[in-house]
C-alpha cells in the first residue's frame, strides 16, 4: 500500500467477520480493495521506514482476507511530522474480513494523483 507521506502514517485497522455493509465513501479521497493470503495467520503492519520484524504481528486465522483501504484527509499533524516534506496528511483506514474465494483488485473510488494510482 502506498502512502502520501512517509514521516507520519496514521492507520486505523478494523477486523470484521463479514464484508462491511457501509459503501458510502464520502469522507474518503481514495478507496481500493485487494486480497491478502495469510497462510501463517500473522499480519504485520509497519511504516515505510520500519522492517516487518520491528513490529508485533497480529494473529488471525490462516487463510484469505479481503482488505479495503480508504485514504481519508486529516487535519491532524503530529509534532514529529515535517511540513517541508511533500504529501497530503491522510489517515489510512484498513478494513479486513475473511473470504473464501480470492478476487481482483478493485478501485471503489479513484483519488487524485500523485499518490492514488
Write out pLDDT tens, residues 48-81. Answer: 777 778 889 999 999 999 999 998 887 766 666 6
| Residue 30: inside a domain | yes
| Residue 63: inside a domain | yes
Domain range for 86: 11-109
Number of domains, the chain: 1
Phi-psi region at 20: left, alpha or beta (left = phi > 0; alpha = psi -120 to 50) = beta
pLDDT band with cut points at 50, 70 and 90 for residue 94: very high
pLDDT value of residue 91:
82
Using alpha carbons only, what angle is made at residue 77 by residues 84 and 110, rounded to the nearest 5 degrees? 85
| Residue 85: inside a domain | yes
pLDDT band with cut points at 50, 70 and 90 for residue 82: low
How much is the pTM?
A: 0.82
| Residue 3: inside a domain | no
| Residue 116: inside a domain | no
| Residue 4: inside a domain | no
> Has residue 41 got a pLDDT over 90?
yes
Amino acid at each position: 500500500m502506498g502512502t502520501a507521506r512517509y514521516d507520519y502514517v496514521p492507520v486505523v485497522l478494523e477486523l470484521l467477520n463479514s464484508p462491511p455493509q457501509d459503501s458510502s465513501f464520502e469522507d474518503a479521497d481514495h478507496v481500493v480493495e485487494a486480497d491478502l493470503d495469510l497462510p501463517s495467520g500473522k499480519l504485520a503492519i509497519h511504516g515505510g521506514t520500519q522492517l516487518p520484524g520491528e513490529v508485533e504481528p497480529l494473529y488471525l486465522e490462516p487463510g484469505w482476507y479481503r482488505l479495503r483501504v480508504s485514504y481519508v484527509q486529516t487535519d491532524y499533524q503530529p509534532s514529529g511530522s515535517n511540513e517541508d516534506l511533500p504529501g497530503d496528511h491522510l489517515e489510512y483506514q484498513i478494513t479486513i474480513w475473511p473470504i473464501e474465494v480470492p478476487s481482483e483488485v478493485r478501485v471503489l473510488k479513484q483519488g487524485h494523483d500523485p499518490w492514488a494510482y
